Amino acid sequence: MVGAGTDRSRPAISGGPVIVLVRPQLAVNIGMCARAMANFGLSDLRLVNPREGWPRTGALRKGAHAAAAGAVHLLEGAKLFDSVESAVADLNFVYATTARERGQGKPVLPPVEAMAAGASRVAAGEKIGVMYGPERTGLDNDEVAIADAIITFPVNPAYASLNLAQAVLLTGYEWFRAARGDVLPFAQIDRSPPATREMTLSFFEYFEDALEKNGFFRPEGKRPVMQRNLRNMFHRMNLTEQDVRTLRGAIVRLVEGPRKAAKTRKRVRAPKAAADGPAPES
């Protein structure tokens, strides 16, 4: 299943930190991690001793592929390792993610700071990676000791446990921002230019005249304040030309009532003459 927002015609972004899942327990979580990676242009997925094996056949493969929601290429390209050491051997800098303090004297960073520093390292030609532990227990102390720094997430301290894919998603999001900025995939389309002051004032005059005729400005002494309040309400909307035309058209209909239906003229056809001419007189 491919989700909304997937556009195969656009160039795919790749690279970024290596994502290392250490002893992941569920194939479906591996699939969701692949989806999170694809969201933010991460392309190197490594698995260390997944509990259910690497799901290439059967129901496990089907579940992982469904959870990946179109990021199947990352699952198919995932590399399998039998130790953390071998999974990170070619990396220059490694982060370990954990929700618990480990007393190891390593730098502890939130994802935003870690990925900003990581982007600088990648730009300098280094290869970095982020390790995530199994869903139930997280990384053990010896695995954290392999890392250069720790990433932990600013979450509710009473409920700090994150789903594996959520942790990958948060890290990937901060990586993407650090590496590519906060450029959004699309922006609001300006379908109409801003209304000119002349156009806006003309609308105000028509609207206020209609209100006056219907007794809105009462008592009379409060009319100036009420007019200013109305005008300021519309000014805060930053009206476009189309906004003003639409508002004015709506008020015209309220003032003048429903449009009159166009009258249709019925065409009266002459009686069709008999094929043999008029009937003879009797």
Tally of CA atoms within 13 A in the half-sphere of 99 that contains its CB: 18
20 pairs with which residues across the strands?
46, 131
Q: Is the pLDDT of residue 280 over 70?
A: no
The DSSP result for 197-213, as a single string, is HHHHHHHHHHHHHHHHH
Instruction: Quote the pLDDT of residue 282.
Output: 39
C-alpha distances in Å from residue 270, one per residue of 177, 273, 276: 78, 9, 17
pLDDT 10s digits, 177-227: 999 888 777 777 777 899 999 999 999 999 999 999 999 999 988 999 999
Instruction: Quote the pLDDT of residue 171.
Output: 96
pLDDT 10s digits, 92-111: 999 999 988 878 889 999 99
Task: Work out the percent of the chain whose per-residue pLDDT is above 70.
Answer: 86
Domain 18-180, CATH class in plain words: alpha beta
pLDDT 10s digits, 12-68: 667 799 999 999 988 899 999 999 999 999 999 999 999 877 766 677 788 888 888
CB environment 169-198: b (16+ within 10 A), e (fewer): bbbbbbbbbbbeeeeeeeeeeeeeeebeee
Tally of CA atoms within 13 A in the half-sphere of 146 that contains its CB: 23
Which residue, among 103, 107, 101, has the nearest Cα to 148 in the 3D structure?
107
Tally of CA atoms within 13 A in the half-sphere of 36 that contains its CB: 22
More confident residue, 260 or 230: 230
Domain residue ranges of the chain, discontinuous segments joined by +: 18-180, 197-256
3-state secondary structure of 163: coil
